[in-house]
Amino acid sequence: AKEKARAALGTATLVIDNELTKVKTAVRNMQWMIEQRLDDPDAMMGLSRQMLETNPSIDGCNIAFCPDYYPQKGRNFMVFSHREKNRIVGNDNYADTNYDEQSWFANVVRTDSAQWADPMEVSQYVDHSIISYTVPLHGDGIVGVLSVDLSLDSLSNTIQANRPFPSAYCSMLDQNGSFIIHRNAAMLAPGSLKEQISKSQSDNGQQLAEAMMRGESGSMVMRFFDMDFYVFYCPFKDTGY
């Protein structure tokens, strides 16, 4: 049974890793296309829509520029396409927003590096749970940020489909020890791993939490509600999850 559970975890991890790798490849391709057309701001909405049209697993696409990069468009210029039922909807009415101060944009500009954004921070700006992959856009230096969104509901369905037993369940943590996928929606909150561990009747709860946060792989036996649970864990590559 333990080997079956370990194998199921490996399968789920491989499936999600492959999905995230496909997203990163699509983003790199779109990053290059945007940087080739920086002289044409009116092309950005079409490119944002194209990202969704050619990548069905992607839920949304932001192309956002640093303040005053396109003076003719106002101080801020961002286009955003997202899926709404069976259609793709676009919006470029963000001239009066402060997206350049939000973490998903500001952190990438500050570090000049690609990042998986904190789902807890990103999801406060939309009406459903997502994870976002963001990369800098370069012209004469950093000129903006490209960000794509993946639905956590979709990833959750993929993970739950790999349960080895009816009594088993799979979860996913972000870089800060918060559940971003969990069978109990009440656990989708900041610091939820610590709350879960606090309910354990075992002495190794803190050891388990620290091992997971270090990105280690392994297994431990934890006791909850007078029952023993086998916990198998491993990291997703290059994400912090």
Checking if the pLDDT of 123 tops 60, the result is: no
Partner residues linked to 96 by β-bridges: none
Q: What is the mean pLDDT of residues 64-92?
A: 91
Tokens representing residue 113 in the block? 């590096």
Checking if the pLDDT of 1 tops 60, the result is: no
Kindly list the distances between the CA atom of residue 128 and the CA atoms of 23, 72, 122, 132, in Å, as whole numbers in the listed order. Answer: 19, 33, 10, 12
Chain centroid to Cα 5, Å, comes to: 25
pTM greater than 0.85 (yes/no): no
pLDDT recorded at residue 215: 80
pLDDT band at 8; cut points 50, 70, 90: low
Checking if the pLDDT of 84 tops 70, the result is: yes
Percent share of the chain, pLDDT over 90: 33
What strand order describes the sheet that includes 77-84?
87-91, 77-84, 60-65, 141-151, 130-139, 115-116
Round to whole Å and give the CA distance between 11 and 228.
24
pLDDT recorded at residue 177: 76
Checking if the pLDDT of 6 tops 60, the result is: yes
Q: What is the mean pLDDT of residues 149-172?
A: 72
Dihedral pair phi/psi, residue 146, rounded to 5° = -105, 130
Round to whole Å and give the CA distance between 42 and 220.
54
Q: How many DSSP H helices and E strands does the chain contain?
A: 7, 10
Q: What is the mean pLDDT of residues 47-73?
A: 93
Round to whole Å and give the CA distance between 37 and 67.
18
107 vs 190 pLDDT, higher one:
107
Neighbours of 158 (CB within 10 A): 16
Checking if the pLDDT of 5 tops 70, the result is: no
Q: What is the mean pLDDT of residues 39-57?
A: 94
pLDDT recorded at residue 174: 79
Checking if the pLDDT of 199 tops 70, the result is: yes
Round to whole Å and give the CA distance between 171 and 90.
32
215 vs 44 pLDDT, higher one:
44
Burial class of 134 by CB neighbour count within 10 A (0 to 12, 13 to 18, 19+): buried
Q: What is the mean pLDDT of residues 34-48?
A: 96
Which amino acid is it at 157?
A: N
Q: What is the mean pLDDT of residues 77-99?
A: 85
Residues found in the chain: 241
237 vs 110 pLDDT, higher one:
110
Provide the phi-psi class of 140: left if phi over 0, else alpha when psi is between -120 and 50, else beta.
beta
